Amino acid sequence: MATSKPFLWGAATSAFQIEGSSESGERGTNIWDVYCEIPGKIAGQGTGLNTCDHVRRYRDDVALMNALNLRAYRFSISWPRVIPQGTGALNAAGLDFYDRLVDELVAAGIVPCATLYHWDLPNALQEEQSGWEHSDTANHFAEFSSIIFKRLGDRVKHWFTINEPWCIAYGGYIGGGFAPGIQDRARGFQVGHQLLRAHALAVAAFRSGGYDGEIGIGLNSEFMFPASDSKQDHDAAQRALLDMAGWFGDPVWFGDYPDEMRSAYGDMLPQFSDEDQELLTRSIDFIATNYYFSDVVRATPGQHPMAYERAPCPNRPTTAMGWPIVPEGLESLLIWLSDRYGKLPVYLTENGMAKENETVEDGCVHDPERIEYIRTHFEAARRAMEKGVDLRGYFVWSLIDNLEWAHGFAKRFGLVHCDFETQVRTIKDSGLWYADWIARGGWDAIESPQHLDLSSAGERGK
Ligand code: FCB
């Protein structure tokens, strides 16, 4: 993308979290549908069957994006909506849905940015061939991706293959709090490995298809601050960054895992074939990362395989997720990624904060903490740009309150409030503030001290 293009001020969502699918036959079952059925896994027994009913209300939601002045929208495509069993028969109605969504965005002047996989693996692949542990799943993903490129590639120019492979592999297979809920480090590494192969194969399909546009993978990482000034803690913080950001960042740029991971984990970390390495090396056109908070790290020789221990930054206000608010960690993470991965263009693909029990009063949702969170993170990103980071876009998580995975519906991240019973949407104060920020020219608004007067927010929100 040429630098002269406008900065992509956007918001993000994912298919499972907003779409809903109450009519049978609308989409195939995914691994999160199954996980939601296990008692105790999802707070409040939430499911993805209705959530924001976006599939039916997408036109209203694009109108909301317009009201927010969004320049770009990052959404994900549900693989089982397009190919219910993961491979084989296509669901034409599912593919048509994304076609109409993209048309609607383009007509509204909003740049569509598509993620091909945001955690909702077709369950048939999990049951029949052990999901992401099986190398065939990577091939099936590349086939699915090719179908999407072919159908949407004339209008979508910004692609993300996989959202947060770290969360898929770590959350799903090591920590075990995410679908499919396994706790086994070796299996987690195998899943991570196949996710990387899947990314590489999809990128190869995109590039050989000659599409106009750019493609990358959606990383996530906390920034790791050393717990003390000691060299040991500094080195430990670097190892922690490599273990989280480098686990997926290094292979898609250098073609292999960080040396530090190889020597710590030994045979547990699978080997890439020569062909895999060739496809992986330089398989991103940009760096994309999500950022929410930061950790402090201390050296712990002989304990963790990589001899570190990390904990969320102490003594900070926290969000409803319990995550400390650390804007300067965003600045440091963007610089770290940009320095390590070739000073590529960067997109911040998710950032935002959860609140609990947000309610609509007189047509308003007052969320000054979220405005402050977003504003201070914008400023941190700006500082990173002043230090040379080529940031091209910033996507607030999330456009609208939605199903926050294992946390259910209680944690609300939206710029827009969703009443999940009535499906009424209400733009929060933060949404009005963001609309104003974009209208005033984004970064330029930092220099102008006045803040949006929200006293008439109710009227505007209606
Ligand atoms: C990220 C996920 C996204 C959302 C936010 C809060 O890890 O990518 O779907 O749940 O966290």
Q: Is the CB of 167 under 6 A from ligand 1?
A: yes
* Domain CATH for 332: 3.20.20.80
Give CA torsion, residues 382, 385, 389, 393, to 10 deg. 50
pLDDT at 448: 55
Helix (H, G, I), strand (E, B) or coil at 427: strand
Query: How far is the C-alpha of 101 from the C-alpha of 212, rounded, in Å?
Result: 20
- 11 is written with which tokens? 């918001």
Least confident segment among 19-23, 371-375, 420-424, 446-450: 446-450
Q: What span, in angstroms and rounded, lies between the C-alpha atoms of 348 and 147?
A: 26
pLDDT at 5: 78
| Token output for 319 | 């969000």
- For residues 402 and 2, give the distance between their C-alpha atoms in angstroms, rounded to a whole number: 34
Confidence of residue 1 (pLDDT cuts 50, 70, 90): very low
Element (H, E) at 216: strand 214-220
Sorted by sequence, the CB contacts under 8 Å of residue 295 that are 6+ apart come out as: 222, 223, 224, 225, 240, 310, 311, 312, 313
The token pair at 401 is 């309150």
pLDDT band of residue 32 (cuts 50, 70, 90) is very high
Q: d(Cα 333, Cα 73) in Å, to the nearest integer?
A: 23
Task: Indicate the average pLDDT of the chain.
Answer: 95
Per-residue pLDDT of 225-241, as tens digits, reads 999 999 999 999 999 99
Cα gap 244→329, rounded to integer Å: 15
pLDDT at position 455 is 53
Question: Is residue 3 one of the residues assigned to a domain?
Answer: no
Q: If we measure between CA atoms, which residue out of 162, 223, 267, 144 comes closest to residue 381?
A: 223
Q: Which two tokens stand for residue 232?
A: 């040991």
Q: Is residue 2 part of a domain?
A: no
Of 137, 275, 292, 155, nearest to 219 (Cα)?
292
- Determine the average pLDDT of the residues in 383-387: 97
Is residue 461 assigned to a domain?
Answer: no
pLDDT band of 26, cuts 50, 70, 90:
confident
**Band of pLDDT at residue 22, cut at 50, 70 and 90:** low
Asked which of 211-215, 238-242, 287-291, 445-449 is least confident by mean pLDDT, the reply is 445-449
Contacts of 124 (CB under 8 A, 6+ apart): 28, 29, 84, 85, 86
Beta-ladder partners of 78: none
C-alpha span between 333 and 346 (Å, rounded): 11
Query: Residue 242: which of 232, 256, 230, 228 has the closest Cα?
Result: 256
Ligand 1 neighbour 32 (Cβ under 6 A): no
Pick 195 or 5 by higher pLDDT: 195
| Spacing, Cα 129 to ligand 1 middle (Å) | 26
pLDDT tens digits, 107-155 = 999 999 999 999 999 999 999 999 999 999 999 999 999 999 999 999 9
Angle between the N-to-C axes of helices 185-208 and 247-254, in degrees from 0 to 180, rounded to the nearest 10:
40
pLDDT tens by residue, 53-110: 999 999 999 999 999 999 999 999 999 999 999 999 999 999 999 999 999 999 999 9
350 catalytic residue (yes or no): yes
Task: Tell me if residue 164 is catalytic.
Answer: yes
Q: How far is residue 250's CA from residue 242's CA, in Å, rounded to a whole number?
A: 8
- Give the pLDDT band of residue 378 (cuts 50, 70, 90): very high
pLDDT at 443: 83
Q: Do 358 and 428 form a contact (C-beta atoms < 8 A)?
A: yes
pLDDT of 193 above 50: yes
- The total of structural domains in the chain comes to 1
Whether 1 is in a domain gets the answer no
pLDDT score for 458: 42
The single residue of 164, 222, 331, 358 carrying the catalytic annotation is 164
Q: Of 260, 350, 358, 404, which residue is the catalytic one? A: 350
Would you say residue 174 lies in a domain?
A: yes
What mean pLDDT is predicted for residues 8-17?
98
| Nearest-atom index, ligand 1, CA of 220 | 7
- Examine the pLDDT at 462 and tell me if it is beyond 80: no
Task: Flag whether pLDDT at 3 surpasses 50.
Answer: no
Question: 308 pairs with which residues across the strands?
Answer: 299
Q: State residue 244's pLDDT score.
A: 98
* pLDDT exceeds cutoff 60 at 450: no
Domain assignment of residue 33, given as a range: 8-456
User: Exposed e or buried b for every residue in 416-437, given b needs 16+ CB within 10 A?
Assistant: bbbebeebebbbbbbbbbbbbb
CB of 162 sitting under 6 A from ligand 1: no
- Across 190-211, b (16+ Cβ under 10 Å) vs e yields bbbbbbbbbbbbbbbbbeeeeb
Pocket test for ligand 1, best of 168, 195, 350, 404 (most atoms within 8 A of CB): 350
